[in-house]
A = this chain, B = another copy of it.
């Protein structure tokens, strides 16, 4: 029986890049902007599972149109253990802002999805007409 192996699985920058289908440049850039802070083995970066989660959150943020700065603010906000009363109020304010704009987005998306479905229907109709014409003409 071995002593504690301290087996914390880590990932290289290349592995992460492949997994999330982004470039290593991007990952280093996120670090540069203060969104990631991987450990080092010599020069080489070592990413833990926590880093991986962060990266996932960064990309989700991007899909939602968040700037990296915004995502960083949310991270910082999340990391702040405990704060002063005024700080807490500012945090709550920011959370509320985000929630409001996210709800707006939600509405926007629902509307657009309906419109796209309508457009889709119209396209299918037209497609049927076109193919019908083609086949009748063709013979």
Residues of A bordering B, CB below 8 Å: 60, 63-65, 77-78, 82-85, 88-89, 91-92, 95-96, 98-99, 101-106, 108-113, 116-117, 119-120, 123-124, 126-127, 130-131, 134
Contacts and interface: CB of A to CB of B under 8 A. Distances in A.
A64 B65 contact: yes
Instruction: Kindly report how many copies of this chain are found in the complex they form together.
Output: 2
B130 A88 contact: yes
A21 B15 CA distance: 45
Summarize A's interface: helix, strand, loop or mixed. Answer: helix
11 contacts: A60-B108, A63-B101, A64-B105, A82-B126, A85-B130, A88-B123, A88-B127, A88-B130, A92-B120, A96-B120, A98-B112
